[in-house]
A and B are shown apart, each in its own frame.
Chain A
Amino acid sequence: MRRPTTILATTVAQLILPFLLLFSLELLLAGHNRPGGGFIAGVMLVAAIALQYVVFGIAPVRRRLPRGSLGLTATGLALALGSGIPGLLRGEGFLKSWVIHWSLPLLGEVEWATAFLFDLGIFLLVAGVGLTLLALIGEDRP
C-alpha cells in the first residue's frame, strides 16, 4: 500500500534516523549515572524505527531491517539471566552486581558494573519486543 507522504517528511525522517539511533545508544551507555537506561534506550530505538514505518510504510522498512527481532528478544532475556551468574560464582548471590574499577590510559579511572550486562539485556529485549510488535501488527491485513 502506498501512503501519501511529503518530501519534507521523508527527508526529515532520513536525516534524523542516525541521530535517534545515536541518542538511543547514549541513553544505554550513560544510564547508570545520568538519565537513561536499557529500558528507555530500547523504547527509543523502537520509536526511531516506528517513525520510519509511519513515513515510508511497512514493507520498504521491513526489507531494510535485519531479520530476527524475536531472536533479539531471546538474546536479551538470556543475557539478563546470564548477568546474574558472576555474582553467583562470587558467592554473593544471583544478580548481585559486581563493580569493577579499572585504570585505563587516557580515560583515567573507569568504573564498570556487571549490572550493565543486565541493562544491555533489557535493552535488547525491549527493542526486540517493540520491533516484533510493530512488524506483526503493522503487516497488511490478511
Chain B
Amino acid sequence: MSLIVATFLSFVAAGTLAALGRRLRQQSGWAAAGTAGALFAYFASWLPMVAGGGVGHAELPWAPALGVSLSLYLDGLSLFFALLVTGVGTLIFTYGRFYLGREEDHPRFFASMLLFMGSMLGAVLSSNLIVLFVFWELTSLSSFLLIGFWHEREASRYGATKALLVTALGGLAMLLGFILLSMATGTWDLADLLGRGDQIRAHPFYPVILILVFLGCATKSAQVPFHIWLPNAMEAPTPVSAYLHSATMVQAGLYLAARVHPLLSGTELWTTLVGGVGMLTLIVGGILAVRQDDLKALLAYSTVSQLGLVMALFGLGTEIGIQAGAFHLMTHAVFKAALFLVVGIVEHETHTRRLSELGGLYGALPATGTAALLAALASAGLPPFGAFISKEMAFDATVHGAAGLLGAPGLLPAAMVVGSAFTFAYSIRLVHGVFFGRQPGGGAGHLPSPVHEATAWLWGPAALLALGSLALGILPGAVGRWLVGPMASGIAQRPLNPGLALWHGIGWPVVLSGATLALGVLLYRHHRLLAWRVPLPGPDAAYNGALALADRIAAACSDRLQSGDLRRYVAVVIGAVTAAALLPLLAGGVRFSLLETRPLLAHEGTTLLLIAVAAVAIVFLRNRVAAIILLGAVGYLVGVLFIILHAPDLALTQILIETVSLALFLLVLYRLPPYVPEEARRGRVVRDLLLSGGAGLAVVLTLLATLGRSAQESIAHYFLAESLPAAGGRNVVNVILIDFRGYDTLGEISVLAIGLLGVYALITLGRRA
C-alpha cells in the first residue's frame, strides 16, 4: 500500500503545485525538491530488503472483470530506477529553482516536472502491462509539456511535437506488442509473465511481439533511426534536458528492454535486432556528437550513442552483458546529468553554448570547471571512475559469451572500441574546449566580461553528481552488492553477483581499453575531418515529409467534406451512420423478428398517427420556425407514447430533452443566415428521399434485429433481480446508468464534456476571427 501512495504522491504534489503555486512562485522548486527527496528516502529504505533478494508487491483492483488492476512490483531493477528518478530529481529540482529566471512560470515548470516524476515512477513500478503503457505515455506527454515550456518559440514547439509523435507512436506499437503478449499467455501481469519465457519464445507470435515491443524501446531510448527527436528536444530548459533527456526518460526504453529480457531474449532475432540496432546507434551517435558545435547538441548525440551501447549489451543476452549493461546505464545516467548541469551553468553565465565562442573559462568558473572535468573524465571512460569499470565489463561481455553478431565474432568488440573512442574524443573536446585552451578572439569575443562563478546551488548538484560517478568507481564492492547486483538479478530474474573491481589483470578488456585510448586521442586531434555532410535524405527528412503528407491529406479531406454548406454536413453524417448501421444488418446472419404482436389500442393508434402526420408535414413547411416547432411536436408525441407504454423515466427524459433542444434549435436559428428557399431540383429530392428512407429503414431493422435475439441472451432479468440487493436502488433504469454500466456512463459524460469544449472553441474562436 505504501508503494501505491509513493507512486501517486508526485501526482498529488503536481496538482497541488498547479493549484496553489501562484502563492509559492519561486519557492515552488523547493516543494518539488522536497517531494523528490522524501520519495528518495522512502525508496532507499527498500534497499536492504531488495539487496537480500526480496521483492515488493502492491495491488489495487481496477476493473477485475477485465483483469486490469493497478499492481506494482518492486525488484532490484525497478528499485534502481526509482532511486535514479527520485535522487537525480532532488538534485535537479534544486538546481532548477535557481536556474529559472525570476520572470519564468515556476509553478507550471515544477508541476510538469513532478507529473513526469510520477509517470516515470509508475512506469518502472507497474506490474500490469496496461498500467505500464498508460504511465509510459504519460512520460511522453509530460516530456511534451516540458520541451514546449517556452512555447512562444517556434523551435520549442517543433521539438515538443516531434518528441511526442515519435515516442507516442512507438508506445502504440508497444501496446500492440503487449496485447499480443497477453493473447499468447493469457495474462497481463508482468510478475507472472517473467517466468514464462520459454512459452513465449515458442509461440508463433514471438517475432511480432519482439519487434513491436522493441519499437517502443527504440523510440523512447532514441535508437537509430528514431534518434532524431532527441536533438530537437534540447530546446527544453537545461534542467529538463538533464533530467528527462539524459538520466531518466530516455532510459525508460532501456528499462523495458531489461524488463522483457527474461521473456524475449536468447534468440538470434533478439541478438540481431537489439544488439544490432544498439551497436549502430553507438557508432552513429558518436560520429554525430564529435561534429557538434552546440554543447547541448553534442550531449544529445552522446546520449544517443551511450544509450545504444547499453542497448547493445542487453542485446547480447548473456549474464555478463546484463551486468555490464546495468552498470553502464548507472554510470552514464550520473555523469551525463552532471555534464548537462555544467552546460546549463556555462550558458547561464556566458549566454552562449557554442564551442566556437567558448574557451579558457576554468579561471572564472573554478567549481563548475572542476565538476565538468570530473564528469568528462568519467564520460571518457578513464580510471578510477565507475564508467571505466563498466566499459571494461562491456569489452569483456563483447569478447566472451555471445556467439557474435551477424556471425562475425570480431564485429562487436571492434564496434565497441570505435564507439568508445568517439566517446573519449567528444568528452575531452567538451571539457577542453570550454574550460581550457584559449578563448576565441583573444577574450574580446562574445563573452561578457568578467564571467562570474554561479551560486553554489547551481554548481553543487553538478559537483555531487560528478563525485557520485567517482564514488561508483572507487567503491566497487559496495556498488556491486547494493546496486548492480540487485539490478542485474532483477533483469535476469535469478541471483547474479558481479565482482566489480578497478583492476582485473591483463586480459582482453585492458588491451581494448588501450586501443580505445589511442584511437580516441587520434579522433580528438582530427575531429574536424569528420565534418563531412551526407548528401542523402536521412530520417529527419522522412519525418518532415510524413508530417507534410499528413497535413496535405487532412487538408484535402476537409476541403472536400467541409464545404461550409450545413445541408451537406447533415447529409454526410446521416449517410455515414445509415451505411454503418445497414451494412452489417444486411450482410446476413441476423435474425429479425417481432417479439409479440397485439392489436393497437385506440389511444396508441391515435398517437402514432399524429406522429406520422406531423413528420410528413415538416417536409412541406416553408417556414423554418414552424418546422422546428413541429419537429418538437413529434418529439413530445413520442414522449406521450412512452407514458402510454409505462416508461416514466424515458418519457421524462424525452420530454425534457425535447424542450431543451427546441430552445437551442431556435437560438441556433437566430445565428444562421436567412433562409433562401431553393428550387426543388430533381437530383436533390432523390438524394434526400434516399437518405431519409435509408435512415428510417436502418432504425426499423435495428429494432427488429434487437428483438430477434433469443431470450436467454437478455440480461434484463439480471438487472431487474439485482438492482435492489446489489446496488441498493429501486429505479432499475437509474441503477443501470450509474452503477451496473457506470463505465459506459463515465465515457458518455466525458464525450459530452469534450463536445462542449469543441463548441466553446468553435464559437469563441469564430467570434475573434
Contacts and interface: CB of A to CB of B under 8 A. Distances in A.
Interface string A20-46: 000000010001111111111001101
Interface string B723-739: 00001111101110111
Looking at chain B, what size class is its interface with the partner chain?
Answer: 35 or more
B742 A115 contact: yes
Contact of B660 (A46, A80, A115, A125): A46
Interface stretch (B25-33, B449-457, B645-653, B697-705): B645-653
Nearest to B648: A35
A28 to B, nearest CB: 11
Given A119-B738, A133-B759, A32 B728 contact: yes
Contacts of B753: 73-74, 76-77, 125, 129
A77 B755 CA distance: 13
B61 A92 contact: yes
Interface in A105-142: 111-113, 115, 118-119, 121-122, 125-126, 128-130, 132-134, 136-139, 141-142
B731 A34 contact: yes
A50 interface: yes
Interface stretch (B562-570, B606-614, B711-719, B744-752): B744-752
Interface stretch (B294-302, B373-381, B527-535, B663-671): B663-671
Interface string B654-690: 0011011001101110110000000000000000000
Given A35-B648, A133-B759, A93 B63 contact: yes
A93 B61 contact: yes
A26 to B, nearest CB: 12
A43 B670 contact: no
Nearest to A85: B60
Given A33-B731, A115-B727, A73 B653 contact: no
Nearest to B742: A95
Looking at chain A, what size class is its interface with the partner chain?
Answer: 35 or more
B738 A118 contact: yes
B746 A47 contact: no
B752 A129 contact: yes
A70 interface: yes
Interface of chain B: mostly helix, strand, loop or mixed: helix
B587 interface: no
A113 B729 contact: yes
A60 interface: no
B526 interface: no
A36 B766 CA distance: 37
Nearest to B749: A125
B674 to A, nearest CB: 12
Interface in B56-79: 60-65, 70
A115 to B, nearest CB: 5
A77 B730 CA distance: 25
Contacts of A31: 731, 734
B727 A40 contact: no
B743 A95 contact: yes
A16 interface: no
Given A32-B730, A35-B649, A50 B660 contact: yes
A137 B61 contact: no
B727 A134 contact: no
A59 interface: no
A88 interface: yes
B58 to A, nearest CB: 12
Contacts of A93: 61-65
A133 B671 CA distance: 13
Given A43-B656, A137-B664, A115 B60 contact: no
A43 B657 contact: yes
Contact of A33 (B653, B659, B729, B759): B729
Given A35-B649, A35-B731, A134-B667, A88 B62 contact: yes
B756 interface: yes
A56 interface: no
Nearest to A81: B746
A15 interface: no
Contacts of A51: 663
Contacts of B738: 32, 37-38, 97, 115, 118-119, 122
Interface string B314-326: 0000000000000
Contact of A94 (B62, B652, B657, B755): B62
B731 A111 contact: no
Contacts of B652: 27, 35-36, 40
B573 interface: no
A97 B664 CA distance: 35
A88 B763 contact: no
A37 B750 contact: no
Contacts of B730: 32-34
A84 B61 CA distance: 12
Contact of B63 (A27, A94, A132): A94
B334 to A, nearest CB: 37
A122 to B, nearest CB: 6
B309 to A, nearest CB: 42
Contacts of A133: 664, 756, 759
Given A134-B663, A138-B667, A73 B756 contact: yes
Given A88-B60, A133-B759, A136-B760, A99 B727 contact: yes
Contacts of B65: 93
B767 interface: yes
Contact of A113 (B727, B745, B756, B767): B727
Nearest to B650: A35
A91 interface: yes
A126 B738 CA distance: 14
Nearest to B62: A94
A61 interface: no
B653 A43 contact: yes
B731 A134 contact: no
Contacts of A111: 728
Contacts of B764: 136
Contacts of B659: 47, 50
Contacts of B70: 88
A84 B663 CA distance: 34
A53 B664 CA distance: 11
A32 B749 contact: no
B717 to A, nearest CB: 20
Contacts of A115: 727-729, 735, 738-739, 742
B746 A32 contact: no
Interface in B359-409: none
Nearest to B766: A142
A80 B731 contact: no
Contact of B749 (A36, A89, A97, A122): A122
6 contacts: A32-B728, A36-B731, A40-B656, A54-B663, A80-B746, A126-B752
Interface of A: 27, 31-40, 43-44, 46-47, 50-51, 53-54, 70, 73-74, 76-77, 80-81, 84, 88-89, 91-95, 97, 99, 111-113, 115, 118-119, 121-122, 125-126, 128-130, 132-134, 136-139, 141-142
Given A118-B738, A138-B667, 14 more contacts: A32-B730, A34-B730, A36-B652, A38-B738, A44-B656, A54-B666, A76-B753, A77-B750, A99-B727, A99-B728, A115-B729, A134-B667, A137-B671, A137-B759
Which 4 pairs between the two chains have the least Cβ-Cβ distance?
A99-B728, A32-B729, A50-B663, A37-B734
